[in-house]
Each structure stands twice: as structure tokens, then as C-alpha cells.
Amino acid sequence: MGFSIETSDHLASENEIAAIHADPGFAVHASDHMASARWSNGEWTDLRIHPFEPIKLDPRAMALHYGQEIFEGLKAFAIDDGSVAMFRPEENAKRFVLSAERMAMAPLPVEVFIDACEELIRIDQRWIPTTPGSSFYLRPFMYASEPHIGVRAALEFSFSVIALPTAPFFSATFDAITVGVVDQYVRAAKGGTGEAKCAGNYAASLLAKQQVVAMGCAEVLWLDAKEHRYVEELSGMNLFFVEHRDGMNDRLVTPPLNGTILRGVTRESLLQLCATLGYETEEREITIDELETRTKSGEISEAFACGTAAVIAPIGRVKRRDQDEIVFGSGKPGETTTRLYDELVDIQKGRSELFPEWRHIVSGASMSAAESLTA
């Protein structure tokens, strides 16, 4: 199955793209094209690369009423040798299949997902930023497009990928964030949709986010739905804690994937990277009380969140209503957190010998020699 290609007749000028590259923001400006495909009569058809444009949707489209929508987020990078690489797109493609299955949607073959991303990168390679830390953010998504009022799984779906140049999440300083616990709401219960990357999970998290923002926090730290004790993840990032052990390497602890936590590609990559760098890792349940006690005693010295957008976001503090703050170390990004961030970014940018297979080179895309010199 190949993609047909319709080139835009209103391409952005080199000057317009240069202005966007000078100040891209986070995924603000979409590139000239997008990829699309449709599922109908039991097959994927109409695979196209076409100009970026608004989506025409029947008002009865089932996604608008019953919420079948899933998405992915991954990045492509200008590599120092002039090539262009996506970071582990196979993992995102496989997760997209799992999300589709959970939401009773049509699974998109892994090859079609990757081809769509590659074709879009090739046609819009002028848009890939080269400044340090910047990337080309890819947002694949799928929604129920079938016009039908009445609750059941849809029979028609639309898939698209858009691409947006993106500044580094931490532009100047690698700052620690404060996260907040809410008592009233939960993100995901066992048997629910927590493991699927679906729009509904995010919609359900927004009110809690407003509450913690009012407490001076950047994100919600979600506890398990049943006992409200076990630390799970943030709304869009997984969690790690660093155990400091005298005379030994640090140990990295992350909550296990028990059905309510999203299977982050960054989380999984960090577990492998940590093992290679000589850190012990442990996937185990950790309660908010243990976190408080062992942070006070200094046994847990650092915490961070991880995900495609930020790669790693150091966590300085946890706030709870009417309870003491939990402060990790000095409340500033820790040494191990910073090292892991640097190591992972080096792998993504092709500056490390480790895990070369994590870079999926996009054939037919390259940065000009002049541009790669400035990277």
C-alpha cells in the first residue's frame, strides 16, 4: 500500500519557515502537508499525503458523540551526520494498535503508521528545525468518522498525521516542577482506559489539573483509584524516583505497568538505558507515604517525570492539601536525573554509541550540509 502525493500549491516560503525556526514554540506551527487514511468496509484505503487543511466532518461523526479517539506523539530529529531519524516509531505504532483495540477501533498496521510518518517527513523536511534541542513533533491520531447517532463501535475511522517544528521543552534552564495530589478525582481504574492513549483520559484529567495549578503546581500526580495510596504517573508522563545508596550506584524505581499506567516509550527506554549505564532498576509499587518517609530520610533523593515532549522533567516537590510538602533533595534537578536526560538526548541526536537501533533513519530525507553545521 503506497501513499498518493498531492503537493500543496501554497507552500510556506523559506523566509516563513526560517522565522518559525527562530522561535518555534512547542508544536505551534503545522507543516505544509499531512498524511491521511480511511478505514471503511473493513480495510484501510485512500492513503494520501496532501496539503494541511481543516478536517471536514459529518456532524453525526461518532467521535464527536461517543469519544472514539486515540493519538500518539513522537519526534524526528536532524542528526549531526545530516540524516533525519525518528525515535523508536515502531514502539508508538505498536502502542497505537493496542490503544485502537482497547477502544474498539480498527488497528492500523505498524507499517502504514511508519510509512505515513516517513512520507510526511520526506515531503516537509524543510520544516525540520536544527537548533540544539529542537525537533519535528509528529502527531498521529485516529477518530470515528462514521456518521451515526446511536451507541456502538463505529465502522468507519479516519487516521491522520500532522507534523510541527518544536523548540526544546526546557529552552534555557532545566527547571524542576512541582506536582500536586488531588483527593477528589482519579485518572484510571483497573479495567478502565488508563493504558490506552485516548483523548478521554486527558479530558477527564483537566479539572484536577486546574485544581493543582491553583495550588501552584505544574501537573497532577495521580494516585491509584482504589486505595488512593500508590503513586502512578502524571497526566501525560511516567514517573521515576532515584534511591541514593551510600557507596553504590543509585537505584531507579518506577511504578509497574499494572493496567492503569500508560506504557511510555521514554519510560521503557530509560529502564534499558539505566541498566546499560550500571544503575539498578526496579518496577514496583510505591505509596505516597513511603515516598514521604524515604524522601525525608534522604533515601529517595531525586524524582522526575518522563515522556516524549520533555524527555525528562525533574520534579522538585509534591504538594498535598493540608499536608507537608515532599521535597526531593534540594528541590533542584538532581545529578542522576540530569545525566539520564543528557544521555537520552545524545542517543536521540546520534551523539552516543549507545542504542543506535533506537534511531529510525528516514531514507530520502536529509538536512543540507550548511544546516547541519549549525546544529
In angstroms, rounded to a whole number, what is the distance separating the alpha carbons of residues 318 and 328?
9
Binding residue (CB under 6 A) for ligand PLP from 70, 79, 242, 262 = 262
**Would you count residue 236 as binding ligand PLP (CB under 6 A)?**
yes
Nearest distance in Å: CB 4, ligand PLP: 30
For 109, the grid coordinates are 498496521
| CB neighbour class for 112 (10 Å; exposed up to 12, middle 13-18, buried from 19) | middle
Binding residue (CB under 6 A) for ligand PLP from 182, 265, 291, 300 = 265
| CB neighbour class for 67 (10 Å; exposed up to 12, middle 13-18, buried from 19) | middle
Nearest to 165 by CA among 75, 79, 52: 75
Q: Check residue 133 and report its DSSP letter.
A: T
Stretch that binds ligand PLP, among 15-23, 110-118, 223-231, 236-244 (CB under 6 A): 236-244
Instruction: Map residues 187-226 to x or -, x wherever contact with ligand PLP holds by CB under 6 A.
Output: ----------x-----------------------------
Nearest distance in Å: CB 201, ligand PLP: 6
Helix and strand counts by DSSP (H, E) for the chain = 9, 19
Residues in 307-366 that interact with ligand PLP by CB under 6 A? 307-308
Stretch that binds ligand PLP, among 155-163, 230-238, 239-247, 326-334 (CB under 6 A): 230-238
- Cell 483509584 belongs to residue: 225
Nearest distance in Å: CB 125, ligand PLP: 23
Task: Name 359's Cβ contacts closer than 8 Å, sequence gap at least 6.
Answer: 77, 79, 85, 86, 87, 347, 348, 350
Stretch that binds ligand PLP, among 55-63, 79-87, 107-115, 265-273 (CB under 6 A): 265-273
Distance between start and end Cα atoms, the chain = 35
Stretch that binds ligand PLP, among 115-123, 127-135, 150-158, 259-267 (CB under 6 A): 259-267
Residues in 57-96 that interact with ligand PLP by CB under 6 A? 73
Instruction: Map residues 272-311 to x or -, x wherever contact with ligand PLP holds by CB under 6 A.
Output: -----------------------------------xx---
For 121, the grid coordinates are 517527513
Nearest distance in Å: CB 264, ligand PLP: 3
- The residue count for binding ligand PLP (CB under 6 A) is 14
Q: State whether residue 196 is helix, strand or coil.
A: coil
Q: Are 106 and 130 in contact (CB under 8 A)?
A: no
Residue whose CB is less far from ligand PLP, 12 or 265: 265
Task: Name 239's Cβ contacts closer than 8 Å, sequence gap at least 6.
Answer: 221, 231, 232, 233, 254, 255, 303, 304, 305, 306, 315
Return residues touching ligand PLP (CB under 6 A): 73, 197, 233, 235-238, 262, 264-267, 307-308
